[in-house]
Amino acid sequence: MGKRILKGLVVFASMMLMVACAAKGPNQPLPAFSPAKIDAADYTSKIDNFIVVLDASSSMNDACKGTPKYTLATELISRMNQTVPELGQSAGLRSFGLNKSMSTQLQYGMTTYSTADFGAALKKITNINGFTPMAKALDAVAMDLDQAKGKSALIIVSDGLQNAGNAIASAQALKDKFGSSLCIYPVLVGNADSGMTLMKKIADIGGCGSFSKAEALVSSAGMAAFVKDVFLTHKAAPKDSDNDGVIDDNDLCPDTPAGVVVDQNGCPLDTDQDGVYDYMDKCPGTPMGAQVNAQGCWILGSLLFDFNKADIKPEGFGELNGVAAILQKNPGMTIVLQGHTDNIGSAAYNQKLSVKRANAAKDYLVNKGISAGRISCEGYGFSQPVATNTTEFGRSLNRRVAIKPEM
């Protein structure tokens, strides 16, 4: 007699749930689905492992808004499977219900996630029957994840009804065992208030997961949002610390000043290839092979003169020979030789001496075969020192001839 009463109560409860679900609104077909295109190159996996727990108990045969709850549940999981990119995660699929013995079974995994294999395992679950041993399934998940390393996600798809055992206690035991490495994502199928209460309590226990309703996830957009929330972390945009348009990983010159034009390696341009970047080069167009100073200007560092002299010393021969070679390679180039002195003596005397020094350098180049018409001379006296005139060494550096190319 007691068994009859129990059976009658179960049937009555099931009928009431069907009525309650139907009362929520008219039949609503599942929305058409095309999996969102998620470029795996833009994401890293938020998790290392995931396991889906599917309710295959008898209450999932009931229809809600014209669709059997189990159909909605499996379609939701299938759509998730089509959307999640394969990123080396370990995955599993466990079902519960199946028969009157209140069983749970690992249908897939735990193994490296494969979209095809996971989908094939989902299609094989066809015996939708029995009570709802969610607690037993959650206890089994603890063993499924026992060897898992890193972060894990548990996705529970159920109507939360007719539960056998204490699913809340089992969820708490799972969380206690795995702590912050486990996030729980209950997904409610149907509209029963008691099912929603149970699933929300489990979500609260999970802490880092979230509660969802199945109908919100079956669209392409809804599923894409769910997958990104549960599974993925968007890769940070590549860093470009100096904002030159070349990411740091490829930038050979990581401290380029703002606004400076750079090449594909992130380095400022050096158009005349004299070793001085264009933005620092005060003498652009220096010919190839010319010795330059820090400002990119052609210098004759060895062409120095004794006090009150305009004779070319042997130390300067090599540099002048180099100037002659450059001019021979660039027949359209003309140059200006600029003579300078130290500050001993009058300005007028030093002006004349500086011109003599420039002419001495010109005569040397002409003797090397350079046309005199390609060389002009200027004298600046002591008006443009490059070193101090308070020491003999400084004065020796000021007794010089500089060179300026003209095209």
92 in Cβ contact with 106 (< 8 Å): yes
Q: Which residues pair with 95 in a beta bridge?
A: 54, 105
CATH 3.40.50.410 segments of the chain? 31-234
134 in Cβ contact with 186 (< 8 Å): no
Q: Which residues pair with 336 in a beta bridge?
A: 376, 404
| Grouped pLDDT means (10 residues each) for the chain, 407 residues | 41 41 58 87 91 94 87 96 95 87 87 97 88 92 94 96 88 96 96 94 95 94 95 86 91 92 94 92 88 88 95 95 94 95 97 98 97 97 96 96 88
Q: Which CATH number fits domain 300-406: 3.30.1330.60, 3.40.47.10, 1.10.8.190, 3.40.50.970?
A: 3.30.1330.60
Q: Which residues pair with 400 in a beta bridge?
A: 304
Q: Which residues pair with 108 in a beta bridge?
A: 93
CATH 3.30.1330.60 segments of the chain? 300-406
| CB-CB neighbours of 204 under 10 Å | 14
Q: What's 31-234's CATH class?
A: alpha beta
